[in-house]
Amino acid sequence: MRSRDLLFSSPDVDEPRRLSAAQVLAHLSAASNWPEGAVSPLTTRHPAIAEYPFMSLQFHGAAGFSLHIFPSEKSSSLFAATKSRLSAPTVYVCLGGQVIEKWPRELFLPHETALAVLEQFMATRRRSSSCTWVRLDRFPRVTVHAGGRGLIPLWKKLKLKAEFPFATERTAG
């Protein structure tokens, strides 16, 4: 399913492209590509101003995909979730190298669910009713490291422990 008026962009893509939902997920999950990107409207008023609605997507390896929708300039952003009741935060996430947090497992979608949600968004520019949506400020999280000195060494040390689930694990694709 393709949308003529939505484009995919990512730090590793020279210019925004028209891709199907399946192609977007394949791009994000390929080990050689940057694991995050966005799907947004074709028109742009200014490069620094976001067009709405848009969806930010990240591939987190074995944990799955996170889909973060921004419906409008004035509305709260929402994360897709597999269940309405969220578990305690257990999945480690390093947010832009700035902070380490743990998030609930339900915020990471398996490929099939992420594909259905993204296809719906690309076809209608609306969030899918096939999953639960959770506001960014309404899900439980634990700050493991608030940033600054020692963050990267801690992240590397944590990743060596096999018992911890990480949202940044990459699989070859």
What is the rounded radius of gyration, in angstroms, for the C-alpha atoms of the chain?
16
Residue 159, Cβ density class (10 Å: 0-12 exposed, 13-18 middle, ≥19 buried) = middle
Q: What is the mean pLDDT of the chain?
A: 85
> What CA dihedral angle connects 143, 159, 78 and 57, to 10 degrees?
150
**pLDDT value at position 2?**
44
Ramachandran quadrant class, 93 (left: phi over 0; alpha: psi -120 to 50; beta: rest): beta
pLDDT at 34: 87
pTM: 0.84
Q: Which residues are CB-contacts of 162 (< 8 A; sequence separation ≥ 6)?
A: none
Closest by alpha carbon to 106, among 69, 134, 78? Answer: 134
User: pLDDT digit string (tens) for 76-120?
Assistant: 999 999 999 999 999 888 887 788 899 999 999 999 999 999 999
3-state secondary structure at position 160: coil
Interval 107-154: pLDDT, tens: 999 999 999 999 999 999 999 999 999 999 999 999 999 988 888 888
